[in-house]
Structure 1
Amino acid sequence: MVNRMVLNETSYFGKGAIEAVASEFKARGYRKAAVITDKDLVKFEVATKVTDLLDQAAINYALYDGIVPNPTIQNVKDGVAFVQASKADCIIAIGGGSPIDTAKAIGIIITNPTFANVISLEGVADTKQPSLPIFAIPTTSGTAAEVTINYVITDEENHRKFVCVDPHDIPIVAFVDSDLMMGMPKTLAAATGMDAMTHAIEGLITKGAWEMSDMLHLKAIEIIGRSLRDSVNGDQSGREEMALGQYIAGMGFSNVGLGLVHGMAHPLSAWYNIPHGVACASLLPTVMKYNKDFTGDKYRDIAKALGIEDAETMSIEAVRDAACEAIDQLSKDVGIPATISELGVKAEDIPAIAQDALKDVCTPGNPRDTSIEEIVSIYRSLM
C-alpha cells in the first residue's frame, strides 16, 4: 500500500512568529496581498497585529473581513469577487478555521475557474492548478487549517456542510504564533482544543492510519492532554503548547482522514450553526465508547500518551475504558456541554440529521462500520 504525506512548504512556530510575514512576502516576489479575516478579529485588534506589520514593511494589501462562522457558499463567492477585484497575487488568511477554510476555496477557484460553482469542489476535486498562494495565520488552537488539505463549507440551502479535499489548497506558509491566540475566550479555547483532540484521536484510529500518522497523533494527544486545561485558563505556555499540539494533529489527520465524530458534528453545525469545535467536543467521549472494541491496542496507546497510571499493564478492556473516561473528564474540566440539547438540537430533527451524518465524507473512515439506526441512537443518548 502506498501512503502519501502532504505538508506545508514552510512553517514558523512560537511567540513572535508573525514577524516573518513581511520577509516571506518580499522574498517570494509578491506584489499585493488579499487579507482575509472576520470583523471580530479586526475589532479586537488581532488581525491588526498582522496588518500593522504589512504597513511597516510598505506592503500593499486589501482587507476583506466578511468571513462568518461556518462559512457559506455565498461567503466564498463574495470572497472570490473581492480578491479578483483587488488584483492580489497572494492571500493572507488570519483567523480560525472559518477564514482559512474560506481562503482555500477562494484561492482554488481563482486559479481553477472551472470550479466557480462552489459545490463542485466537494469531495476530492480534480483541480489542475495550485491555489493562489496562501499565508495562513491561525488565531485559535484547534482546527489546524493552516496545515491541512481539507476545508469545509456550509450549504445553507440544503442544511449541510460539505468537505473538500485537495492537495492544491494547502497554504504555502503557516505562522503559528501563540500571541495571536491569547485573545481567545475560555469557551473558544476549550472548543477548539477539544476539536484538536478529536483530530488526534480520530486520526489515530481511522481506517487510513499508518505508522507515520500514528506517531504524529500520539504526540498530539500527549501535548493536548497536558496543556489544554492550562490553555483554557489563559496560560501563555499552555496556549503555546496547544498551538503546537493542534498543528501536529493536523499534519496527521489531513493525510489519513477522520471518523464518525466529524461525520456527526458537521450536520449539527449545518442545521443549528453550532461552532464546529463545540459540536465535535460534545460528541467525542460518547463516540469513543462506541468505537472502543474496534480499535485494537490503540486505546492503550492513547492512555499511555495521556499519562494514565498502569496503562501498560491493564487489561485491554480496562485500558479502553480508562482512555474513554480520561477524555470524558477532560471535556468536563474545560466546560464542554454534556448534552446536545443544550446546543439547541431538537429531537424531531435527529432522523434527518443522522441521514446527513451517514453520508458525510468523514464517516467511512470510522474504525467501526455504522448504520443509520446506530447514529440515531448515539444522538438520542446525548439529548
Structure 2
Amino acid sequence: MHHETSGGVRFAYDAPTLRFGGGSVASLGAELAAAGCERALVVCGSTVGATDAVMEPVRAGLGDRLAGEFPRTTPDKRLSTAYDGVAAMRRHDADALVAVGGGSSIDVAKVMSVLRADDRAPDRVGAELAETGTVSIPDGELTPIFAVPTTLAGADISQVAGITAHPSSSLVTAFVAGGVWDERLMPTTVVGDAELVATTPESVLVGSAMNGFDKGLETLYASTRTPVTDGTASRGLRLLAEHLPRLGQEGATPDVLEPVVEGTTLVQYGISRPSETTLSVVHAFGHGLTRGYEVQQGVAHAVVVPHVLRYLFEHVDGRRDLLADALGVGDAADPADAVVESVTAVRDSLGLPTRLCEVDGPEPDGFPSVAEAVLADSFMRNKPPGLDPTQAEIEAVLEAAY
C-alpha cells in the first residue's frame, strides 16, 4: 500500500482512561479519586436528569464526591447555558465535571470548563465568538471532565466542542455557531456503560449510531489516517457492522449494546488529535444539512452516507479494500459496491430514513447553499487524497439523496 512519505506518519495522542462494561459507572468515584478530584458537578439535559435509571447509578458511582447537578443542557449547546453552568460550578465549589448524556451535554461541559478559567466579561467572550467563531482558552489547568455517554454518536473521546449563541441571551447581537478545541478538553475518563446507554430511547440511539458508525468509515479514508487508527477503526467497524443490525431487531438491551458501545469507542480512538481529525466528507455533509434545518445529525448521515461513498469511489480509491475487509465483505468481486451495500444494510436495519425528501431538511432549491456550506466545512480538508470536489458534484450527491 502506498503511503505519503513526507517524514512518515506522526501520531501524537493522549487518550482518556476508558472504562467499559455494564455497571462500569460504579467506577466513577474511583476515577475522580485517581485524578485528585473531590467535588463533581453532574452536567446533563433535563430528560437524563429526570431519568432515575441513569442518575441513580451515576450518583451511587460518585458517592460522597457528588457536589451537585446541573440538568440544563440542550441540543443547541448555548453559550448562555454554559455560563449558567459556571455559576453552578461556583455555587457547588466543583473541581470536576461529570457529563452524562449525548454529545451536547459533553460539549457544554467542555465549554463550562473553558469559561470557568476565563475572567473576562461574558459579553466580551460573546463578541469574540461572533467575530472568530471560537473562544480563546486561558493557559493553565482546566476543570477535568469525566464523560458518561448515553448515546452512540461518538462525541466523547474528543478535544473539540460545538457552541452556539443566540441574541436572546444578550451575549451576541446575531445568531452565531462555532466551537472550541484544545487538548486539555479531552475528557480525563470516558465510561462506556451499556446499562446506561440502554435507558436511551431507541429512536435517539439509532440516529446517533449512524453518526458513530460513519466516524469509523471516514477514519479509514481521510487524508489524516494513520496505521494506529486503521487498526482501531477497522475493529470498531467490524463490531458495529455485526451488532448494529441486532439493535434494530432485538432492541436496546445491555447485551446487544455492549459490543456496540465497544465498537463506538474504538472508532473514536485517535480521531481527535492535537493538530488534526479524521472526520471528513460525510461529516461535512452532515453539518451542511443540519445548519438551519430541523433534521437531526445522525438522520442526515443516514440519508447521505451511501451516496457520498458512491461519489468518493467514482473519483478515488477511498481505501475500498480496507473498508470492505473491516465490514466483513473483503471477498466481494467489487469492493466499492460491497461497501456501499453493507453501509446501506446497516442503515436500513436501524429503520432510519433513506431519502432527503422524507426528513426536515433542505428542498432542492436550497441545495446550492447547502453545497457551499459543505465545501466550506473545515472537515473537507481531510478528504481522501486525490479528491477535488466541485459545487456541481456536491449538489449532484444531494440530488441523488433526495
> Is the pair's TM-score, using the shorter chain for normalization, greater than 0.5?
yes
Alignment match, 2:305: 284
CA contact (8 A) 1:104 1:151 kept: yes
CA contact (8 A) 2:26 2:60 kept: yes
Verify: 1:148 aligned to 2:169, yes or no: no
Distance 1:169 1:49, change over 3 A: same
C-alpha RMSD over aligned residues: 2.5
Alignment match, 2:283: 262
Match 2:194 to one of 165, 175, 178:
178
CA–CA separation in structure 2 for the residues paired with 1:297 and 1:377 = 19
Distance 1:6 1:64, change over 3 A: same
Post-superposition shift, 1:196? Answer: 1.3
Out of 114-123 and 159-168, give the one that drifted further.
114-123
Q: Deviations over 1:234-285 (max 9, x none)?
A: 2433200111111111113223321121112113223124322222222211
CA–CA separation in structure 1 for the residues paired with 2:264 and 2:246 = 15
Q: Deviations over 1:86-113 (max 9, x none)?
A: 3211101001111011111211222245
CA contact (8 A) 2:133 2:177 kept: no
Verify: 1:86 aligned to 2:92, yes or no: yes
CA contact (8 A) 2:221 2:318 kept: no
CA–CA separation in structure 1 for the residues paired with 2:97 and 2:58 = 13
Unaligned runs of 5+ in 1: none
Letter paired with 1:140: T
Alignment match, 2:170: none
Alignment match, 1:64: 70
CA–CA separation in structure 1 for the residues paired with 2:37 and 2:335 = 53
Out of 148-157 and 207-216, give the one that drifted further.
148-157
Secondary structure (helix, strand or coil) at the match of 2:272 reads: helix
- Say how many residue pairs are matched: 376
Post-superposition shift, 1:180? Answer: 0.3
Match 1:360 to one of 353, 368, 377:
377
Distance 1:243 1:287, change over 3 A: same
CA contact (8 A) 1:38 1:67 kept: yes
Verify: 1:39 aligned to 2:46, yes or no: yes
CA–CA separation in structure 2 for the residues paired with 1:160 and 1:294 = 35
Verify: 1:327 aligned to 2:333, yes or no: no
Distance 1:130 1:363, change over 3 A: farther
Verify: 1:190 aligned to 2:200, yes or no: no
Match 2:147 to one of 127, 136, 139:
136
Query: What are the equivalent positions in structure 2 for 1:126-275 lying under 5 Å apart?
Result: 128-143=139-154, 145-154=155-164, 161-232=177-248, 233-255=251-273, 256-275=277-296
CA–CA separation in structure 2 for the residues paired with 1:123 and 1:215 = 33
Out of 153-162 and 183-192, give the one that drifted further.
153-162
CA contact (8 A) 1:34 1:90 kept: yes
CA–CA separation in structure 2 for the residues paired with 1:325 and 1:160 = 38
Equivalent pairs: percent with the same residue?
22
Unaligned runs of 5+ in 2: 1-6, 168-173
Post-superposition shift, 1:159? Answer: 6.8
Post-superposition shift, 1:178? Answer: 0.5
Distance 1:65 1:54, change over 3 A: same
| TM-score normalized by the length of structure 2 | 0.85
Post-superposition shift, 1:123? Answer: 6.7
CA contact (8 A) 2:220 2:322 kept: no
Q: Deviations over 1:329-359 (max 9, x none)?
A: 2111211111122221232333222222222
Distance 1:297 1:146, change over 3 A: closer
| TM-score normalized by the length of structure 1 | 0.89
